[in-house]
Amino acid sequence: MPEQLNWRTSTYTSQDSCVEVADSNPHTVMVRDTKDRNRAIVSFTPAAWLAFVQHAKSR
């Protein structure tokens, strides 16, 4: 049975023009496009995702 993920979006964006993020397990952060949820999901380590978020917030 596929893992049920708890997808979430930023409160700063609309539900159909953003990315959604889910913690797959303690070692993987999953990201997908809200405009086409059936496309590929990209995965990152928590450290890589945190670095991306911190960089984005600093802009």
Residue indicated by tokens 């959604």 = 20
Percentage of the residues of the chain whose pLDDT score is greater than 70: 90
Count structural domains, the chain: 1
- pTM value is 0.78
Inter-residue contact 28 to 45 (CB < 8 Å) = yes
Query: Which residue, chain included where needed, has tokens 């990315």?
Result: 19
Q: Which residues constitute the domain of residue 44? A: 1-59
Of residues 23, 59, 15, 13, the one with CA closest to residue 44? 23
Q: What is the pLDDT of residues 8-18, one digit of tens each?
A: 987 777 666 78
Nearest by Cα to 44 from 29, 56, 33, 32 = 29
pLDDT in tens, 26-37: 999 999 988 888
Collapsed DSSP state (helix, strand, coil) of residue 31: strand
